[in-house]
Chains A and B, each alone.
Chain A
């Protein structure tokens, strides 16, 4: 009986304990984000100034913040920001990086050199400086943050996809498509793009983790998603001022980011090992 490629990959993925664990963590995170309002013990926005900075209790399992709001509930709702930012940012950066990578790799020559110089320029910019600049100039909002992260985060994707396309375009089936008169656009969309999907899936997975950390870093400076919307980054920002007195305010949001990113990295690594036997994506 013929074993399909996807079946083989799935079997290989299932053997990777860490990959499966990461996948489960990731699914749990998404479920938490979706069902946040059912899971949270309290209203994450309810201010209670009489009960500020209180420690762990039955009513507030992880204590309260500087405005007496429930830390656990805010953590649970904060996952929504992280999940949304992760997916949207990766969507934007894969779209830009994929387009530039495929066009550069497919056409080669002067188009390739021009596009790759553009990549060099963007890479030479200290990304976090750039992010701080842009966020400070425009009003910080979840939309601006996502657009900015996406628009500055595509260089690695472009480089990897380009090098992949350089080898794909030499394949016989591309030559065949050209021989039957397919246009460049058609070849790129119908023949090259599908061959890059595996690599894109792995890059996207790992990219989500990166986007979540970077958004939290902006939030940490008070430049991410603006309050009162809870995000793990702005919770750290709010906790920073009082972290000598109320350490739980900075410990738990960071732990949430850490566990999330760890899970996604495990998942990404597992997917790479299962899907990408030639290891186009180098192991770090």
Chain B
């Protein structure tokens, strides 16, 4: 197990190098002189001043030297300063990562808790009303654009009904006597973002769970279990469900990129102070050091999310042995 994790970590190294090259390359594809954006866009400057700035920022060096300089700094946690606020990029990102992880984890939990029972009931009562409703819901969920769904939820639950907040992550300035009301306050702010971010994942997983369950129910060992006189409840819970659940763990790994990527949209709409919102802000301010760092950190989150799913798979499936 340890050996497997170490091997996976080693495999991550070339991928990280590739990601850093890509991050760096995209920024340097930009027309004009991206590194000098602040100077060239803000003021009238002389050629001498520009040349001095270029030398100061190392922009007069060949591109691969610039890359190695950036990479060696990057690996040491030196991610530069934000062009707009002047604060260190690393601080800005570390402040926001917990919020993105909270949102992604809550969404993952929401998807799992709902999709597994719905998919299973759907399979067990094939062609029933519940099954048809679940299938229709899943098709609708996969087709709804989440950014639009977010606005519809805000219209209904925030504007018309006034039940849930439309933006933010907690009630600002509120004081709580103990942790109970505080958690409740946080949860209220999580509901709408989680619903929108999790919608397509939920729809996809319901379909997956239903398909997997139907497949498992046709297996010989289910017939054997029934034949030896086990109760239906035990057959379903112990023999069928456990096997149908296995592929779900892998699928969860596939959803990690979608969650991180989707956070840009959802966090921007709901004013959720995470990395996705930071990304959108950075892009609109053309804050290149920040854009580069957020891109790279997003990729790191995805890689480790996938690693987590792979390791989880080893735990849930005793047949898989990685040595």
Binding site for B on A (CB under 8 A): 117-118, 120-130, 132-134, 136-138, 209, 213, 216-217, 220-221, 223, 236, 240, 243-244, 247, 250-251, 253-254, 257-258, 261-262, 265-266, 283-284
Contact = CB atoms under 8 A, between A and B. Distances in A.
Interface stretch (B43-51, B180-188, B204-212): B204-212
Contacts of A257: 145, 148
Contact of A266 (B27, B34, B139): B139
B316 interface: no
A29 to B, nearest CB: 13
Contacts of A130: 26, 295
A121 B15 contact: yes
Contact of A236 (B19, B143, B147, B302): B147
B27 A125 contact: no
B269 to A, nearest CB: 9
A126 B139 contact: no
Interface residues of B, number: 50
Contacts of A125: 19, 22, 295, 298-299, 302
Contact of B148 (A118, A129, A132, A236): A236
B29 interface: yes
B283 A283 contact: no
A253 B147 CA distance: 12
B260 interface: yes
Nearest to B154: A243
Nearest to B155: A247
B35 interface: no
B45 to A, nearest CB: 22
Nearest to A236: B148
Contacts of A117: 14-15, 18
A113 B210 CA distance: 34
Contacts of A121: 15, 18-19, 22
Contact of A243 (B139, B151, B265): B151
A134 B26 contact: yes
Contacts of B111: none
Contacts of B265: 128, 217, 220-221
A244 B18 CA distance: 45
Contacts of B260: 126, 129
Given A124-B303, A133-B291, A236-B148, A284 B204 contact: yes
A132 B264 contact: yes
Interface of B: 14-15, 18-19, 22, 26-27, 29-31, 34, 139-140, 142-145, 147-149, 151-152, 155, 159, 204, 207-208, 211, 257, 260-265, 268, 276, 279-280, 283-284, 286, 291, 294-295, 298-299, 302-303, 306
Contacts of A221: 265, 268, 280
B15 A137 contact: no
A133 B299 contact: no
22 contacts: A124-B302, A125-B299, A126-B257, A129-B295, A132-B279, A133-B291, A137-B27, A137-B31, A216-B147, A220-B148, A220-B265, A221-B280, A250-B151, A251-B152, A254-B149, A254-B152, A258-B145, A262-B139, A262-B140, A283-B208, A284-B142, A284-B207
A128 B264 contact: yes
Contact of B147 (A123, A220, A266): A220
B283 A136 contact: yes
A256 B286 CA distance: 32
A134 B29 CA distance: 9
Contacts of A132: 264, 279-280, 283
Given A117-B15, A236-B148, A265-B142, 13 more contacts: A121-B18, A125-B302, A133-B26, A136-B283, A209-B143, A217-B265, A236-B151, A247-B155, A250-B152, A254-B145, A258-B148, A261-B142, A262-B139
Nearest to B147: A220
A137 B207 CA distance: 38
B15 A129 contact: no
Contacts of B14: 117
B295 A126 contact: yes
A23 to B, nearest CB: 15
Interface centre among A123, A132, A253 (most CB of B within 10 A): A132
B262 A128 contact: yes
A21 to B, nearest CB: 11
Contact of B31 (A120, A138, A261, A266): A138
Contacts of A129: 260-261, 264, 276, 279, 294-295, 298
